[in-house]
Amino acid sequence: MPKFFYDSDADLSAIRNKKVAFVGYGNQGCAQALNLRDSGFDNIVVGNIDDEYKPRAIADGFRTVSISEAVSEAEVIFLLIPDEDQQQVWKDQIRDHLLPNATLVVASGYAVAFDLLELPETLDVVMVAPRMIGAGVRDRYVAKEPYPCFVSVERNPSGKALQTAIDLACAIGATRGRGAVESSCLEEAGIDLFAEQALWPAINTCFLQAFQVLKGAGFSDEAILFDMYLSKEPSEVFERASNVGFFKQLKFHSKTSQFGQLRGTKNSDGTALKAQFEKVLHKDILSGEFAKYWSNSLAGGATELEQLWKDVEQEPIQIAENNLGLQK
Ligand code: NDP
């Protein structure tokens, strides 16, 4: 059974006085910095590139400096810039400016799990990863409501990293209610990447093929797209699935739909799909191959991503959407 951590496990009395740097003031950075301040931390600095988020940090009352300056004075560093930028920013602006015995906090496991950051031996590394967009992290903190969060200890030279992680999770409001759950960077990143690279591509492929089969039968683009997703039925289905359960939500459908879905699922052979999922998970993701490939692609200007966008524009379903005048 995974371990859960609650408000009662935290003690903010000492950690409140630590110097904390937020690297990045976007969705998570802004929400978590405000939550920390409202939890009594009064020594927070924001390190950001001189870009659109900087005026927001200043308006929120934070001192802003360059990333390397922020890091050089911090005992706790929240690394809250996009995952794909962390490797380069770490190398150029963070690594050589760290205080000995600082704690690094990540909100996503990606960079740590796949060794994209060169981590000094004296650095504690923890993950405090809200399963919630930044606005939700802030709104729930203010409303004193709980939200789900993963916590892990990745490096622990001080021997105190777990307590630090619990205290910081508490300070951002993540240990209320059912508590924050123990996880790991590899688990968090592995599941996330699996959804992105196996589960959703399979679902995307289903929609591409379904569209072509129905169109081939002479049905109109409008009717197909409205029935498949423009009606927002899939979002209602997933909303109900998250409330009552993946299959139990079928009870809200007609008997004909229930029969068709259960019988169709039972008769579907998932063997090839399972083999594909295993390959993506083990060969691409957990081996670190994907992370390496993506880092190289980013270093080369991410031209492959641009090409992939161009390719998908040619899909019949995309052309049908364009003809319907969906927002670009
Ligand atoms: P955002 O894109 O909202 O924020 C990015 C911040 O980083 C901005 O302040 C931006 O500044 C700055 N930034 C962007 N690029 C660079 C760069 N090259 N160098 C320096 N600073 C840069 O990111 P999120 O808050 O969404 O994500 C931060 C972390 O939180 C990630 O690890 C993410 O996986 C994790 N996370 C995100 C969740 C979410 O729902 N969004 C949920 C849980 C975790 P500017 O805009 O001024 O360029």
Q: How far is the CA of 297 from the centre of ligand 1 (A)?
A: 19
Q: Name the residue among 83, 123, 131, 75 with its Cα closest to residue 106.
A: 83
Q: Name the residue among 55, 113, 114, 104 with its Cα closest to residue 81.
A: 104
| pTM summary value | 0.91
**What pLDDT sits at residue 2?**
80
Q: How far is the CA of 12 from the centre of ligand 1 (A)?
A: 26
Q: Say how many C-beta atoms besides its own lie within 10 A of residue 61's C-beta.
A: 10
47: tokens are 């390190």
Give CA–CA dist 180/2, Å, rounded: 10
Ligand 1 near 128 CB (within 6 A)? no
Helices 27-38 & 161-171 angle (0-180, nearest 10): 90
181: tokens are 């759950």
> Residue 154 in contact with residue 125, Cβ under 8 Å?
yes
> Residue 155 in contact with residue 125, Cβ under 8 Å?
yes
Ligand 1 near 51 CB (within 6 A)? yes
75-107: pLDDT as tens digits = 999 999 999 999 999 999 999 999 999 999 999
173-209: pLDDT as tens digits = 999 999 999 999 999 999 999 999 999 999 999 999 9
**What pLDDT sits at residue 3?**
95
> Residue 71 in contact with residue 97, Cβ under 8 Å?
yes
Chain mean pLDDT for the chain: 96
Average pLDDT over residues 40-53: 91
266-320: pLDDT as tens digits = 999 999 999 999 999 999 999 999 999 999 999 999 899 999 999 999 999 999 9
DSSP string, 62-78: -EEE-HHHHHHT-SEEE
Give CA–CA dist 158/143, Å, rounded: 34
Q: Say how many C-beta atoms besides its own lie within 10 A of residue 320's C-beta.
A: 17
Average pLDDT over residues 196-224: 97
How far, in whole angstroms, is CA 32 from its chain's centroid? 15
The CA distances from residue 119 to 50, 111, 166, 304, in Å, are 26, 11, 21, 29
Give CA–CA dist 243/143, Å, rounded: 21
Residue 22, φ and ψ in degrees, nearest 5: -100, 120
pLDDT band at 328 (very low <50, low <70, confident <90, very high): low
Q: How far is the CA of 6 from the centre of ligand 1 (A)?
A: 27
Ligand 1 near 24 CB (within 6 A)? yes
Name, in order, each residue with C-beta under 8 angstroms of 55's C-beta and a sequence gap of 6 or more: none
Amino acid present at 164 = T
Q: How far is the CA of 190 from the centre of ligand 1 (A)?
A: 19
Name, in order, each residue with C-beta under 8 angstroms of 316's C-beta and a sequence gap of 6 or more: 208, 211, 212, 215
Amino acid present at 39 = S
- 3-state secondary structure (DSSP) of residue 115: coil
| Beta-strand pair 149-155/124-130 | antiparallel
**What pLDDT sits at residue 183?**
97
> Residue 42 in contact with residue 89, Cβ under 8 Å?
no
The upper half-sphere exposure of residue 298, i.e. CA atoms within 13 Å in the direction of its Cβ, equals: 14
Q: Which atom of ligand 1 is nearest to the CA of 48?
A: 21
Element (H, E) at 328: none
**What pLDDT sits at residue 156?**
98
Give CA–CA dist 82/110, Å, rounded: 10
Ligand 1 near 94 CB (within 6 A)? no
